[in-house]
Chain A
Amino acid sequence: MNTQKSTSFRTRTFDFGSFFFTGVTGLATFLILAILAVILLNVVINGWPGISWHFITAGTERDMFDVKQAGVLPMIFGTTARVILMTIFVIPVGVITAIYLTEYAHATSLITRFIRGAVNNLAGVPSIVFGLFGLGFFVNFIGHQVLNPAVWGKPALLWASLTLSVMTLPVVIVATEESLKAIPHGLREASLALGATKLQTIIRIVLPQALPGILTGGILAVSRAAGEVAPILFTGAAYYMAKLPTALNDQFMDLGYHIFVLSTQSPNINKTKPILYATVLVLLLLTFALNLVAILVRAQVRRKLRALH
């Protein structure tokens, strides 16, 4: 705070450099936020009229490009199903990895460095490569060569979810690790001093404290995965399905993929624009609501932990 006083004391004359520099960088910040606002406003204004109870609950039985009849229920169902399945796979693995990294491993040991490097690299692998991996590993290898190819050797809900869980693993690990690190050491030491073993301490003391962070990680993973299309292109998404998926080896319709289909394969783009915009709005509402929850939970946790320290 002292620095602020001293600068205001010093810059009594007009400082052009300061004006220019602050102006340019501030403008960049403003531009990014403005573009973000334009995108969101455009989608909300054009998409809102298309949202109705019918749109949310109707399917695409007649014609997916029919503005009056088409709905998005199968896509909402498909996206939700693949995301829930993904969460079931990714949370345990991600949390256990984070526990190993913070509670057991030495910060500088070779294995820790390898795991961290792998996590960083996993976060940067292009989503289309995850799609290829899902096709090559899950569908063609596990489905065709290990399991019964007639049942599993094709794109399926399970394969799409597994592919996505590999993709979102880093998100869960990083978020959980962050929350584990924020837990004061005193809590662990107190538990150990009372005679608890390390495992007991982790399960009874550390994990409950880290729960909000784990939840944040899960929510971030879900919001990241909900909008991804490239990884599920060859592993499970269907252009059109007459029925909702009922088994793990069914294909499914997906919100993001449906946006792609509506905007590139429509027979008359101007006519189908209303349902396109409405579908985009549904997807954005879904991911943004999740993001918002994650941000709020994280802020809450940080505040609480700051008080603890």
Chain B
Amino acid sequence: MATTADHDKLNARRSIGWKGMQRGHRTHPLEWIAEKGILLVSLSAIVMVFLIFLFVAREALPVFTGQLNTASGQKVIPVADMEKLSPAELEAYLGLTPEQDAKMDADTKRTLMEVKLEELKEASTDKDTRVNTASWRYFLRPFQWTGYNKPVYIWQPVSDIQKYNIVPLLIGSLKATLVALLFSVPLALGAAIYVSQLAHPRAREWLKPGIELLAGIPSVVLGFFALIVMASVLQSVFHYQSRLNAFVAGIALGLAIIPVIFSIAEDALTSVPRSYTQAALALGSSKWQAAWKIVLPAAIPGVFAAVVLGFGRAIGETMVVLMASGNASIVSWNIFDSTRTMTATIAAEMAEAVVGGPHYRILFMLGTVLFVVTFVSNLVAGLVIMRLKSKLEGKR
């Protein structure tokens, strides 16, 4: 008899409410097909996240597996030995495609051999040419290149010896992001507390959309404003050397992330049940005490999530830093030095990178790093907000 009881339970569950409307599916195959189709389409968001990671990482894969080689340590072949080489070997040696090879006669090839010989002779005098710069040791650790008197971190992909040290870019990104957070977090949090807790309800109606209007300004316009107006104004106030630097870029970045931090923090503060405030007020606290000592601590995970999301947004922002940071890849923690971030590097150099070459792959590697960093910060922030919401809703 247990089975019929289960059946009854199942039927009862099916007939309750909208979500339980299962009967229609049986009678209409069309309904069933439609539901499955809708499910398939709605999976596209998941598919897209996967595809983004897959295809950005795919282009960067040779970097991670260490298959790139920029070293030009080729063996030297005398011109007289040209006839001994097979056509394929000759093509590889001279760096020709088969089509190019077919078009050339023996004399042209001989000339090319001589040129190559000269090249290799010249190159072999510099020990740096034999270094494979596209490997992790040269990405992350300093190296004493010829002509330098100490090991240095250099990002210089367009030169005879391509130098791909990403440390200057990492520092540049972190520097600009740090300035942005220091500038925007106090402002955005203050505004969030004011708008959600202290402002008159009528003022709130237009304050919130007003601040969120800032999100409507495209980042290229913020970059333009930082470049044309803010850079000069800030320079005349702080009297620093280079007009474009991490400080200017950071302030403009801060403007870009204020709406993000504000919206999420405001949302978290508003989702704290009214009864919290009412209880505090009933116990004799004033409005600001209730906001500062009761509501803010209750919503603090949401505030944390807002800052984490702001961090993710700032480190991934491109146009602002591309236009306002000065783009010099220097290793320095001074925020008034010109700086180059990862995002600006990708945006500025992708156009001139040879598709499939080491430079191209390393730029995609930077993109993968950015994706992972923002993915993790999104995940953390999402989890924190979800837990906070369920906690507060449970207590309501």
Give Cα A295–Cα B30 distance, bound, in whole angstroms: 37
> Do the beta carbons of A128 and B318 come within 8 Å of each other?
yes
A104 touching B224 by the CB < 8 A rule?
A: no
Residues of B within 8 A of A256 (CB): 218, 220, 319
Total contacts A to B, CB within 8 angstroms?
287
A303 to chain B, nearest CB (A): 12
A84 to chain B, nearest CB (A): 18
Q: In A1-53, which residues have CB < 8 Å from any B CB?
A: 3, 6-7, 10-11, 15, 17-18, 21-22, 24-29, 31-33, 35-36, 39, 42-43
- Do A122 and B49 touch across chains, with their CB atoms under 8 A apart? yes
**By CB atoms of chain B within 10 A, which of A29, A118, A276 has the most?**
A29
Q: Are B319 and A291 in contact (CB under 8 A)?
A: no
Closest to B286 in A: A18
Q: How far is the CB of A265 from chain B (nearest CB, A)?
A: 11
B148 within 8 A of A: no
Assess whether B52 is interfacial by the CB under 8 Å rule: yes
For window 266-289 of B, CB contacts with A under 8 Å fall at 277-278, 281-282, 284, 286-289
Residues of B within 8 A of A226 (CB): 218
Cβ contact within 8 Å between A229 and B288 = no
Determine which of B44, B56, B288, B382 lies in contact with A129 in the assembled complex, contact meaning CB atoms within 8 Å: B56
Q: Using Cβ atoms and an 8 Å threshold, which residues of chain B touch A115?
A: 42-43, 45-46
| CB closest chain-A residue, reference B260 | A124
The answer to whether residues A137 and B51 also contact, given A198-B21, A227-B219, A230-B347 and a CB cut-off of 8 A, is yes
Measured CB to CB, the closest approach of chain B to A293, in angstroms, equals 12
Does A166 count as interface, using CB distance less than 8 angstroms? yes
Interchain CB contact under 8 A, A130 and B52: yes
Whether B39 sits at the interface, judged by CB under 8 Å, is yes
Q: Is the CB of A259 within 8 A of B288?
A: no
How distant is B45 from chain A, measured CB to nearest CB, in Å?
4
Alpha-carbon distance between A32 and B209 when the two chains are bound, in angstroms: 12
A-chain residues with CB within 8 Å of residue B258 when the two chains form the complex: 32
- CB-defined interface of B44-67 with A at 8 Å, one 1/0 digit per residue? 111011011001101100000000
Contact B39 A100 (CB under 8 A): yes
Set B24, B190, B286, B316: member contacting A25, Cβ < 8 A: B190
Please tell me if the beta carbons of A35 and B255 are within 8 angstroms of each other in the complex: yes
Size of the chain B interface, CB-CB below 8 angstroms? 98
Instruction: Report the bound CA distance from A28 to B266 in whole Å.
Output: 14
Q: What CA separation (Å) do A132 and B347 show in the bound complex?
A: 9
Given contacts A115-B42, A189-B18, A229-B219, contact A125 B371 (CB under 8 A): yes
A189 contact set on B, CB distance < 8 A: 18
Q: Main SS of the interface on chain A?
A: helix
| B281 pairs with A129, CB closer than 8 A | no
CB-contact partner of B371 in A25, A126, A264, under 8 A: A126
Contacting pair B59 A140 (CB below 8 A): yes
Interface string of B377-394 (1 = CB under 8 A from A): 111001000000000000
Shortest C-beta distance, A266 to chain B (Å), equals 11
- Chain B, residue nearest A258 (CB): B220
Find chain A residues with CB under 8 A from B277 CB: 3
With a 10 A CB-CB cut-off, give which of B58, B218, B378, B379 has the most chain A CB atoms: B218
Contact A21 B281 (CB under 8 A): no
Q: Is B85 an interface residue (CB 8 A)?
A: no
Chain B 335-376 interface residues, beta-carbon cutoff 8 Å to A: 343, 346-347, 350-351, 355, 363-364, 367, 370-371, 374-375
Given A39-B217, A141-B55, A223-B216, the answer on whether A197 and B28 have CB atoms closer than 8 Å is yes
* A101 at the B interface (CB under 8 A): yes
Known: A10-B284, A29-B211, A264-B323. A132 touches B367 (CB 8 A): yes
A121 within 8 A of B: yes
Task: Please state if A97 and B51 are interface contacts (CB–CB under 8 Å).
Answer: no
What's the Cα separation between A256 and B49 when bound, in Å?
Answer: 26
In this complex, what residue of A is CB-closest to B314? A126
Knowing A29-B211, A128-B318, the reply to whether A263 touches B323 (Cβ < 8 A) is yes
In this assembly, does B161 line the interface, its C-beta being within 8 Å of a C-beta of chain A? no
Closest chain B residue, CB of each to CB of A37: B210
CB-CB under 8 A for A29 and B221, given A140-B355, A185-B18: no
In the bound complex, residues from chain B placing their C-beta under 8 Å from that of A101 are: 42
Contact partner, B58, options A96, A136, A259, A295, Cβ 8 Å = A136
A194–B103 alpha-carbon span in the complex (Å): 79
Measured CA separation A198–B38 after assembly (Å): 13
30 CB-based A-B contacts, threshold 8 Å: A3-B277, A18-B287, A21-B288, A25-B194, A27-B190, A29-B207, A33-B210, A36-B210, A114-B46, A115-B46, A118-B48, A124-B375, A125-B374, A128-B347, A129-B370, A129-B371, A133-B56, A136-B56, A137-B52, A141-B55, A189-B18, A197-B27, A198-B21, A198-B24, A199-B28, A223-B216, A228-B218, A256-B218, A256-B220, A264-B227
Give 16 new A-B contacts, CB below 8 A, not counting A127-B318, A199-B28.
A11-B286, A28-B191, A32-B187, A97-B41, A125-B374, A126-B370, A130-B52, A132-B363, A135-B350, A137-B51, A198-B25, A198-B35, A199-B35, A229-B318, A230-B219, A263-B227
A-B interface, 3 closest residue pairs, ranked by CB to CB distance from nearest? A227-B218, A126-B316, A28-B190
